[in-house]
Amino acid sequence: MSHNTFGHLFRVTTWGESHGPALGCVVDGCPPGIRFKLSDIQRDLDRRRPGQSRFVTQRREPDEVKILSGVVMDADGETLITTGTPVSMMIENVDQRSKDYGDIARQYRPGHADYAYDQKYGIRDYRGGGRSSARETAARVAAGALARLVVPGVSVRGALVAMGEKEIDRANWNWNFVEDAENPFFTPDPASVPLFSDYLDRIRKAGSSVGAVIEIVAEGVPVGLGAPLYAKLDQDIASNLMSINAVKGVEIGEGFAAARLTGEQNADEMRMGNDGKPVFLSNHAGGILGGISTGQPIVARFAVKPTSSILTPRKSIDTSGHDVDVMTKGRHDPCVGIRAVPIGEAMVACAIADHYLRHRGQVGSRAVEQ
Amino acid sequence: MSHNTFGHLFRVTTWGESHGPALGCVVDGCPPGIRFKLSDIQRDLDRRRPGQSRFVTQRREPDEVKILSGVVMDADGETLITTGTPVSMMIENVDQRSKDYGDIARQYRPGHADYAYDQKYGIRDYRGGGRSSARETAARVAAGALARLVVPGVSVRGALVAMGEKEIDRANWNWNFVEDAENPFFTPDPASVPLFSDYLDRIRKAGSSVGAVIEIVAEGVPVGLGAPLYAKLDQDIASNLMSINAVKGVEIGEGFAAARLTGEQNADEMRMGNDGKPVFLSNHAGGILGGISTGQPIVARFAVKPTSSILTPRKSIDTSGHDVDVMTKGRHDPCVGIRAVPIGEAMVACAIADHYLRHRGQVGSRAVEQ
Amino acid sequence: MSHNTFGHLFRVTTWGESHGPALGCVVDGCPPGIRFKLSDIQRDLDRRRPGQSRFVTQRREPDEVKILSGVVMDADGETLITTGTPVSMMIENVDQRSKDYGDIARQYRPGHADYAYDQKYGIRDYRGGGRSSARETAARVAAGALARLVVPGVSVRGALVAMGEKEIDRANWNWNFVEDAENPFFTPDPASVPLFSDYLDRIRKAGSSVGAVIEIVAEGVPVGLGAPLYAKLDQDIASNLMSINAVKGVEIGEGFAAARLTGEQNADEMRMGNDGKPVFLSNHAGGILGGISTGQPIVARFAVKPTSSILTPRKSIDTSGHDVDVMTKGRHDPCVGIRAVPIGEAMVACAIADHYLRHRGQVGSRAVEQ
Amino acid sequence: MSHNTFGHLFRVTTWGESHGPALGCVVDGCPPGIRFKLSDIQRDLDRRRPGQSRFVTQRREPDEVKILSGVVMDADGETLITTGTPVSMMIENVDQRSKDYGDIARQYRPGHADYAYDQKYGIRDYRGGGRSSARETAARVAAGALARLVVPGVSVRGALVAMGEKEIDRANWNWNFVEDAENPFFTPDPASVPLFSDYLDRIRKAGSSVGAVIEIVAEGVPVGLGAPLYAKLDQDIASNLMSINAVKGVEIGEGFAAARLTGEQNADEMRMGNDGKPVFLSNHAGGILGGISTGQPIVARFAVKPTSSILTPRKSIDTSGHDVDVMTKGRHDPCVGIRAVPIGEAMVACAIADHYLRHRGQVGSRAVEQ
């Protein structure tokens, strides 16, 4: 990654702040001939959109995506076809609620990037967090929706597996429930909804916040994507996930738990299946061995810290070097990790699309089409 | 990162396999005028070198580094000075013990990259793990030794904080002990040595292996390195660490523990210090906020899985598609994570050097020299 | 360069086609704190804008630039200040004259990219040349206008020095005249205007077209930008200029004429000046020696081919593989090279800005501020 | 390009100076399974090697290439097979004739990079030109020899078409003669040999030097390589050629002559051939339209300036800021352009190999295998 561009062949450049006129991304290197509808992109954006339950920020944004380049309309007047040139997507900012930013302009909010920004750049767009706003992730989700279409047969799904001190029961895992209209948390465990609801209501009413752990699973990824070192598929997934705001940790497969296992426990044994294809007997590796996909599901997790936008005053300093106590007013997310689920999916989808094209470039059609 | 090159301005390209004539790296973009001695590089290589205790592989390699370009010798006949052109460093392979690789050539070792390699490339250098050999990390360490010299006043140190199910007692942390000659584990806790020794002897005699967790701490990093998104300092540290073989997870600061904290707990409060400089009252963030260094120590951890080279037979298949049982013979590392300490330091040092130059490029001298 | 992004630290990504809703660019890596007005960008766009004389295409486009991100407004309500985050600029397409593209959709215009596009992508946006449209260069000019502000004291100017078989008289060179309202050609030679007018009127009325040669001169470039090899300043200037549509050749300094000189003639001799600074006695090198700027004016030239959009029918084939005769109807540019002047300036300015930041990154403030 | 690495998927990193122990390159991203012999690489190096006639420098270097990684030996003990990992190639410097560099260390040679180096880096390896030495091109030639093997059926050949004021007669063009043992000039025109010999003997005896123009022709390049803008095939060829020392101009197809043509003259007409395939009736475009290869031969030319290492004293300054007269002693090349022929071939071959893989990555197997 360099600057605000990521990916090597499937390259995404994002731009935009919370309180400018718009934000967006340019997806460059997309294969030509991919057919999709605008609603395929919009659907993912709607999943990320704020204001859909009392547990997420009440900012009202339609998050309507416009595609400005890189596609032609098919004769049906509805299907878009990529041409192989850069796909520019834009999302306008609508709800820039008028607000007195005086304090935030002058005070460094603890746990935010305010102080580091000012020290780095000597200038800072403090409105709504500027470039660090969670709104920026809409551009990622739009790019990811396109990335999903690059590799035939791939599915990338995510779920929230822990919220603060509460965890799901993996025995209840139900992918269908994740997208259920009654599920405000992207949890795969129906039994966790009341648990999380009570817990988060308490947090929310206290003006506090908690973190979360998200798990992303990619199925149907062809064997052979990635590289032994430096362009490892797991490395690029980790890099993509760590580029999301508030993420403090990333794991593949067993992750940190692998450090506590023995070699016997951790090795994924293999046997030939009845259909003459190799079968793995476990997936501790999370679908990646030596940096290269094995054909098993790819499993990644990331930890999102609690937002520091809380109602309890915290000690800090201001731009003039005076001690102050800072309290964040206005709408806030008690658990920003909830909306990170579609974002994590998008970032993993982008990594997979990029490595699919890279693999096809270096090795040719043999491997990816076998 | 792309292919076997990482870094944007301080760029490292590595090459080489375990059983070829040599391995090495090219460090491009190094600032001119850096003065050092060959022993500054060799010292770090010696720390990584195998065969130094019964707990690491007994392969005997002098790991003697040669610098082939990019420097001139000062009049003292000893001090090297970088010229700003690519620094090529080479380490010859000496102990390529003659060995019958017949089984490894035909069998896929569970938990290794063998199967994924063959599926990706259709060809594989199976001798000693080929490109995935732990020997490759010598090139990283050489590059990292140079990276340490780029940022004035930075120190990057690492320590093993967990081995399998055993952990250190952080109350005993002693940086000096990490490099103690009596300490075969890079542990910062003197009390952990007998504990780890007994534990790892048991593992070793059973022909088994365990994982480990390594912590890297960088002090003296100027405030302002990194970027809000996509070129976040923590992201590039995570990417660098995940590019090391056998790493399955990376954390910054509180890492996954942050997901269990509230916003009140996790926010690092600030006050003006007596010297008129800002002081952080805690460091949950691990020295990075919004992707940008804050001036606090940078803290990263990574999890190393247990090697799959174990004496217990495991189920697998061979290249002809037959079921086989695979057992790894010969020298092996019961805990490959031990030697990962200097490697992790090197990778963090490279990320910091790169971002130091990038920051100076974009923002100029003001920020980094303040 | 890779895909539609160019530059290493000052990075420009462009997107858009002739007949989509808009086109634009994202400028990433711009230093923070640069102060400018929207009119600074608009001025350059106006110089490139079509429809300003009978010698250029009559498409009417206001080419009004909007800045969507990466800046904050100063208290004066007029001055914009870069924040160091991506600057997204957009220009809407207005005059998409309704047109029957039937023939162009089915026929490959000789000398155009039509055939190569279809063979490459299997799909082509044929409206107005698609991605290859000259309109794309508006995005370059917008980026270049920002690039001009990065290096203090640099001026980048261009002029048309040859049109078809006609050349200017260098003895008459007058930079002020280039921007004169009576000068439709960006020629620096007032005497050439009637010559070029008569010539181009004949070409235009014949439905024909001619090529041109453009010269770009950058003054005030600090000594030390570039690198000995592979990131040579002249190489990146050449690459940037060759990325413009219809450019078939690039020269630095003496260029091809240098091949006919002797070493005695070509070497730029030096002497110490009266002010204690080195003085070059000539500038055959065009301001760059060994890939690195010398402090002399940088001089580059590029050749623009005649457009193949002409009224005379030419032999070709159609998408069904039948022989056809192709004639281009509608508005066209008899000499597309005229409007290439501000585009060439922009591309050279971007190369200089990028190398200024790269040099500052690698070497620090010493050299660039001396 | 960035730093000393070029190419996007077929990536070459070079390192080394004239008077260090060795120089070399790392070729990363090479497809696996390419079979070749060491002699395939050595043959190209031998063509570039100095000391083969009285018209080139008399430095005696065996230029023996060693391959240190990225290949396995086939059972025949002779055939090497790429594994897909980085191929590191090294050439040791042998003839580092002991020499008093005192003057060169203190004096800036006019027309050389000496002054610019010192201003940029504050330090300079003045021995033999350091990084700017023509010896560096051996690494390019080694990489190019591998690049030739990437695209099936491609041939890349070069020839010297002008030397100083003398040009070849294109009516005599004979590719076979270029490699003839009696031809010390890589000229394709047998009649030019006595002409060039007499001319260059005069130049040589006068201690002078002249420039040259080289033409590279690539045949068998598949249609569809490149991109409409910014990753144009001609742009990357131009960038690669301009990265060679002493190159001051690059042209594709008609090049600068295209500026003097009309649209009628310049357009390459097409017809369907008897075999049902499109046929171009001319090749003014040099095989590239809109940045994309058309399937016609690709034609590029570059101008090499005369070396400034001449026996006639020239005015200059020294590092202390005093006026001096500089005269280059010792062995020198009266026409460095002669040996640029295999270098130019290598750089064009690298560009084509890279774009072949990039095209296959983005578009897949359809286009490149059609």
Which stretches of chain C are DSSP H helices? 38-48, 102-106, 114-121, 137-147, 175-178, 192-205, 233-242, 263-266, 340-363, 365-369
Q: What is the ipTM of this complex?
A: 0.95
Which chains does chain B touch, 3 or more C-beta pairs < 8 A?
Answer: A, C, D
Residue corresponding to tokens 């000075």: B81
**DSSP letters of B120-180?**
HHS----GGGGGGSGGGHHHHHHHHHHHTTTSTT-EEEEEEEEETTEE--GGG--HHHHT-
Residue C369 in any domain: the answer is: no
Q: Are D229 and C132 an interchain contact pair (Cβ–Cβ within 8 Å)?
A: yes
CB-based burial label for A52 (10 Å; 0-12, 13-18, 19+)? middle
pLDDT (mean) for B289-303: 97
End-to-end CA distance of chain C: 30
pLDDT (mean) for D190-214: 96
Q: Are D69 and B23 an interchain contact pair (Cβ–Cβ within 8 Å)?
A: yes
pLDDT (mean) for B148-173: 97
CATH number at residue A242: 3.60.150.10
pLDDT (mean) for B225-248: 96
Q: Are A31 and D362 an interchain contact pair (Cβ–Cβ within 8 Å)?
A: yes
Contacts of D83 in chain B (CB under 8 A): 121, 123-125, 130-131
Nearest CA-CA distance, residue B183 and chain A, Å: 20
Closest to A90 (Cα-Cα) out of A15, A33, A31, A187: A15
Q: Which residue has the higher pLDDT, B302 or C18?
A: B302
The 3-state DSSP class for residue B269 equals coil
Contacts of C258 in chain D (CB under 8 A): 211, 248-249, 303-306
Instruction: Please count the structural domains in chain D.
Output: 1
Query: Which of D11, D21, D125 has the CB atom closest to B3's CB atom?
Result: D11
CA distance A161 to A167: 6
Query: What whole-number percentage of chain B has pLDDT above 70?
Result: 94
CB-based burial label for C219 (10 Å; 0-12, 13-18, 19+)? middle
Q: Are C9 and B363 an interchain contact pair (Cβ–Cβ within 8 Å)?
A: no
Q: In the structure encoding, which two tokens stand for residue C106, read together? A: 């089915």
CA distance A53 to B304: 40
pLDDT (mean) for A129-140: 90
The 3-state DSSP class for residue C246 equals coil
Is B231:B291 a contact under the CB 8 Å cutoff? yes
Q: In the structure encoding, which two tokens stand for residue A158, read together? A: 């995510």
CA distance C179 to C159: 9
Contacts of A208 (CB under 8 A, 6+ apart): A306, A310, A311, A312, A334, B262, B263, B264
Mean pLDDT of chain A, nearest integer: 92
Contacts of A39 (CB under 8 A, 6+ apart): none
Q: In the structure encoding, which two tokens stand for residue D92, read together? A: 């040791």
Closest to B327 (Cα-Cα) out of B308, B312, B316: B312
Query: Tell me: the pLDDT tens digits for B101-150?
Result: 667 789 999 888 899 999 999 998 888 788 988 889 999 999 999 999 99
Is C157:C175 a contact under the CB 8 Å cutoff? yes
Q: Are D84 and A362 an interchain contact pair (Cβ–Cβ within 8 Å)?
A: yes
C52: left (phi over 0), alpha (psi -120 to 50) or beta: alpha
pLDDT attached to residue D369 = 39
Contacts of D69 in chain A (CB under 8 A): none
Nearest CA-CA distance, residue B26 and chain D, Å: 7
Q: Are B248 and A251 an interchain contact pair (Cβ–Cβ within 8 Å)?
A: yes
The model's pTM is: 0.96
Q: In the structure encoding, which two tokens stand for residue B38, read together? A: 């060959």
Residue B349 in any domain: the answer is: yes
Nearest CA-CA distance, residue D73 and chain B, Å: 10
Q: In the structure encoding, which two tokens stand for residue D5, read together? A: 């690495």
Q: In the structure encoding, which two tokens stand for residue B298, read together? A: 């940078």
Contacts of A144 (CB under 8 A, 6+ apart): A44, A156, A342, A343, A345, A346, A347, A349, A350
pLDDT attached to residue A59 = 67
Contacts of D166 in chain C (CB under 8 A): none
pLDDT (mean) for B273-291: 95
In the predicted structure, residue A218 carries a pLDDT above the cut 90: yes
Residue A244, domain extent: 5-363
Contacts of A133 in chain B (CB under 8 A): none
CA distance A340 to A325: 29
Closest to D300 (Cα-Cα) out of D237, D364, D361, D346: D237
CA distance A18 to A63: 12
Q: Assign 3-class secondary structure to B296-339.
A: CCEEEEEEECCCCCCCCCEEEEECCCCEEEECCCCCCCCCCCCC
The maximal CA–CA distance of chain C, rounded, in angstroms, is: 72
CA distance C24 to C12: 10
Query: What whole-number percentage of chain D has pLDDT above 90?
Result: 79
Query: Tell me: the pLDDT tens digits for B47-76?
Result: 988 767 777 776 677 889 999 999 999 999
Q: Is the Cα dihedral A355, A361, A363, A366 positive or negative? A: positive
E strand segments, chain C: 5-6, 11-16, 22-28, 35-37, 65-67, 71-73, 79-82, 87-92, 155-163, 166-167, 212-219, 247-252, 270-272, 278-280, 288-289, 292-293, 298-304, 314-317, 323-326
CA distance A203 to A306: 11
Other residues' Cβ atoms within 10 Å of the Cβ of residue A92: 17
Question: pLDDT by residue for chain C (370 residues), tens digit each?
Answer: 568 999 999 999 999 998 899 999 999 999 999 999 999 999 999 998 876 777 777 667 788 999 999 999 999 999 999 999 999 999 999 876 656 566 778 999 988 889 999 999 999 888 878 898 888 999 999 999 999 999 999 999 999 999 999 999 999 999 999 999 899 999 999 999 999 999 999 999 999 999 999 999 999 999 999 999 999 999 999 999 999 999 999 999 999 999 999 999 999 999 999 998 999 999 999 999 999 999 999 999 999 999 988 888 999 999 999 999 998 776 678 999 999 999 999 999 999 999 999 999 999 864 433 3
Nearest CA-CA distance, residue C157 and chain A, Å: 29
Residue A369 in any domain: the answer is: no
Q: In the structure encoding, which two tokens stand for residue D309, read together? A: 């290492």
End-to-end CA distance of chain B: 30
Other residues' Cβ atoms within 10 Å of the Cβ of residue B175: 11
pLDDT attached to residue B104 = 77
Q: Which segment of A37-41, B9-13, B121-125, D215-219 scores lowest on mean pLDDT? A: B121-125
pLDDT attached to residue A97 = 61
Is C150:C10 a contact under the CB 8 Å cutoff? yes
DSSP state of A112: S
Q: Which segment of D7-21, D43-57, D330-344 scores lowest on mean pLDDT? A: D43-57
pLDDT attached to residue B367 = 42
CA distance D286 to C152: 40
> What radius of gyration do chain A's Cα atoms show?
21
Is A281:B233 a contact under the CB 8 Å cutoff? no
Q: In the structure encoding, which two tokens stand for residue B101, read together? A: 């690789």
Contacts of A289 (CB under 8 A, 6+ apart): A268, B111, B112, B113, B115, B116
Closest to D84 (Cα-Cα) out of B101, B132, A223: B132
Is D335:C262 a contact under the CB 8 Å cutoff? no
CA distance D211 to D191: 20
At what angle are helices D340-363 and C114-121 packed, to 10 degrees?
A: 60
Q: Are A69 and C23 an interchain contact pair (Cβ–Cβ within 8 Å)?
A: yes
Mutation pick from D72, D90, D93, D104 vs chain B, by most beta carbons of B within 10 Å, is D72
Is D345:D215 a contact under the CB 8 Å cutoff? no
pLDDT attached to residue A101 = 67
CA distance C25 to C41: 13
Could you give phi then psi for residue A167, rounded to 5 degrees? -125, 160
Contacts of A9 in chain B (CB under 8 A): none
In the predicted structure, residue B369 carries a pLDDT above the cut 70: no
At what angle are helices B340-363 and B233-242 packed, to 10 degrees?
A: 150
Residue B236 in any domain: the answer is: yes
Is C350:C357 a contact under the CB 8 Å cutoff? no
At what angle are helices A114-121 and B340-363 packed, to 10 degrees?
A: 60
Banded pLDDT at D99 (limits 50, 70, 90)? low
In the predicted structure, residue A195 carries a pLDDT above the cut 60: yes
Nearest CA-CA distance, residue D328 and chain B, Å: 23
Is C292:D120 a contact under the CB 8 Å cutoff? yes
Residue A368 in any domain: the answer is: no
pLDDT attached to residue B54 = 76
The 3-state DSSP class for residue D16 equals strand
Other residues' Cβ atoms within 10 Å of the Cβ of residue B327: 14
pLDDT attached to residue B329 = 72
Query: Which of C4, C68, C86 has the CB atom closest to A86's CB atom?
Result: C4
Contacts of B98 (CB under 8 A, 6+ apart): none
**CA D20 and chain centroid, separation:** 22
CB-based burial label for C28 (10 Å; 0-12, 13-18, 19+)? buried
Q: Are B125 and D29 an interchain contact pair (Cβ–Cβ within 8 Å)?
A: no
Q: Which residue has the higher pLDDT, B94 or A175?
A: A175
In the predicted structure, residue D366 carries a pLDDT above the cut 60: no
Query: Tell me: the pLDDT tens digits for A290-345?
Result: 999 999 999 999 999 999 888 889 999 999 999 999 987 766 789 999 999 999 99
